[in-house]
Amino acid sequence: MIVESKKTLNIAIAGTGYVGLCTGVCMAHTGHYVTCVDIDEKKIDLMQSGKSPIYEEGLEELMNLNKERLTYTTNYTNAYQNADIIFIGVGTPEKKDGSANLSYVYNVARQIAHNVIKDCVVVIKSTVPIGTNDKIENFIKSELINPVNIHVASNPEFLAQGTAIRDTLHASRIVIGVESEHSENILKQAYEGFKDVPIVVTNRRSAEMIKYASNDFLALKISYINEIANLCELIGADIQEVTKGMGYDERIGDKFLNAGIGYGGSCFPKDTKALHWLASFHDYEIKTIKAAIEVNEQQKIKLFKKSRKYYESLEGLTVAVLGLTFKPGTDDLREAPSLVNVPLFVDDGARVKVWDPVGSEAFKNAMEREHNSDLNEKVEYCNEIGEALKDTDICFIFTEWPEIKALRPKDFDNMKGLIVLDGRNCYDVNLFSGTNIKYESIGRSLLG
């Protein structure tokens, strides 16, 4: 149950991506007055009109429900001057060496230092390397213009794209990393309306590590079960029966045991590489994390390798791709298997037809940006699944959208070659028994 906080705070949110916007909207929903700050004027205009710049279930509804307590602006000066708390939720993208790019965090920290006119708590929600909160506090204090007291706290997020609003309002836990009683009290006031959610109070470095350790453990779990699935294919076991048997053990649990073609998104790939880099920086190697990264990269192209059983190459063939985003319920393409595979298909000589309910435009832009217009000329963006399947020689499934999971064998009848390679185990293998469809999935018996 969500109730309004007893003490209303003025909260500023720096950054309106998944983390920042979802945090701001949920804070407003519990009674606080929230100002969301972004440098992108088009995004601000869109949000001021009541529209969300990201595809996230329930977000736009909450934006409009709490519009009286929400302000969207590019004017960070006013936003930071009046704030009791300033949440930093900007991106920390991966550098080429795997480390986290903290330039956006430092830019916001400088803006805060130059504009705050009253005591406030600066809260870093962005995922940052261990020790960053300490450095940011020292940086802000060295840049302060006015004689005010600044406390920096760590408050990592644990939301998942597609369920971000639910994950924020009904969090499994709220982690607060503080070095002062004042910071702890203010943050507890901020989260007072989040009833029945446990609050874990630690020092800042422990909070920073909790974020990395949690995400990387889940990535490890995914990579582990994908390796078990690959072995299941070789020895004749069924990965879904295996994970069902594993999941009853409370020490293991049944979450993140779905075999497939690897993890993607904004967190797991970036956070595993960042922790691996951080360990290497200290002359230490976390071998399990290194292995997870390597396994995931290879898993992404598993279906492409499977296709070699049926065709020596894709030269002159027409390929259907169902699902472009890294998971259902989001338009996020970051580290999605489709970004790796579609260029592989084109380079192998295929013409590609793709379908996704929300990700096609973003995918088209990504291909244009990362490759060239010649690649997009060989990709057809379809509005209907049937259109994407028509007259194709082989079908690859990369995202388990409900529309894809609802397909039945007859829906593939308009293909020229009845070969379906399913990277997300969308169907019961028995569904294709007795049909002419050659259906392969991950870690399960081969049919056809």
CA-angle at 329, arms to 323 and 334, nearest 5°: 65
Which amino acid belongs to residue 269?
Answer: P
Which amino acid belongs to residue 313?
Answer: S
Tokens of 280: 């290497």
Q: What are phi and psi of 405, to 5 degrees?
A: -65, -20
Of 395, 391, 403, 363, give the one whose Cα is nearest residue 379.
363
| CA dist 38 → 9, 55, 108, 300 (Å) | 20, 18, 10, 34
SS3 120: strand
Strands 438-440 and 419-422: parallel
Of 59, 107, 116, 39, give the one whose Cα is nearest residue 85.
116
Q: Which residues are catalytic?
A: 267
CA-angle at 100, arms to 97 and 102, nearest 5°: 130
